[in-house]
Structure 1
Amino acid sequence: MKSAALPLLLAGLLLAGGAHANDAAHIRASHAWIRVLPGALPAGAYVTLENDGNQPVALRGASSSVYAEVMLHRSSREGGVSRMAMVDALNVPAHGKAELAPAGYHLMLMRPHAPVKPGDTVTLTLQFGDGSTLATDFVARPANAMDAGDDHATPAMDHDAMPHGH
């Protein structure tokens, strides 16, 4: 069994490092943020993924040097009951986008190695179906936050606000 897996692994590594565009090369991540909860409660990570490629791309999960465990989850509400389930993948359609957002798909971040506070930046490495990865900076936001706080929903600029660094 091992001898069959090794060539596949090597082929995957060659593809990921070669001239062929990999899944991650077609993905642009934006509005990346983490909702930090008090104490040892798991945090949720959210991001918008845009795929400029001709093929769908599967987000398979993520990893982090800050959190011991990162899992892809989907929240849903059925008959007045909120549920959360682990999922294997989230497809980002060709020339389309997928959003990880509160009450939907999200990355569940568990067991931080050190406290994460609002304002901190945490790098999560997004992992795609072909084995390629995309390191993405997520901004930690307080427990009551509903979005990335980068005002992407409103075109008006609040001149009293701190610069967003775009």
Structure 2
Amino acid sequence: MKKLRCLLAVAGLAIAFSASAAGNASLEVQHGWVRWLPGGLPAAGYLTIVNRGNEPVALVKASSPDYADVMLHRTTSSGGTTRMEPVDRMTVPAHGQAALSPGDYHLMLMQAKRPVAPGDNVAVTLQFSDGALLHTQLKVRPANQVN
């Protein structure tokens, strides 16, 4: 029984640490990370989505078993005021990429279901307009570590 659990754990880690797209092999996540804030505050997820396909695709939803809610947001500035607003989608061009980065598009990770701290990994599933699901792991960094 102990060997079976060990094998299942290793298989789970192998799956978890690879970013894979179900339904669209042309999508890939690169440079994923989470900006952690103390005190149970929402975290922000950043990553680059690469689309090697011949058609544009839109990121339309995200989820995580580690957080109660994951929302796609965008930070905008106008007249010296910065606002963060939820958005329905973010387009990834054909043969191109789109970045979720500080000060622009990002994932808002709300209400951690478990203690999350710098050094941890957060599982995230991205859902696209063509039905593809992209599973990835984002490394948690402290708020003051940008790169």
Normalised TM-score (structure 2): 0.82
CA offset at residue 123 of structure 1?
Answer: 1.0
Matched, 1:141 2:122: no
1:25 is paired with a residue whose SS is coil
* 2:79 match: 79
Q: Percent identity?
A: 54
Greater than 3 Å deviation, 4+ residue runs: 21-24
**Structure 1 segment 1-166 matched on structure 2, within 5 A:** 24-147=24-147
* Aligned residue pair count: 127
2:25 is paired with a residue whose SS is helix
Task: Decide which structure has the larger Cα Rg and report it.
Answer: 1
CA offset at residue 25 of structure 1?
Answer: 1.9
CA distance in structure 2 between the partners assigned to 1:106 and 1:23 by the alignment: 23
CA offset at residue 71 of structure 1?
Answer: 0.2
One-letter amino acid of the structure 2 residue matched with residue 26 of structure 1: S
* 2:7 match: none
Greater share of strand: 2
Q: Which runs of 5+ in 2 are unaligned?
A: 1-20
CA offset at residue 118 of structure 1?
Answer: 0.4
Query: Which structure's relative contact order is higher, taking Cα pairs within 8 Å and 6+ residues apart?
Result: 2
CA offset at residue 24 of structure 1?
Answer: 3.6
CA distance in structure 2 between the partners assigned to 1:24 and 1:145 by the alignment: 32
The alignment's C-alpha RMSD in Å is: 1.4
CA offset at residue 22 of structure 1?
Answer: 7.0
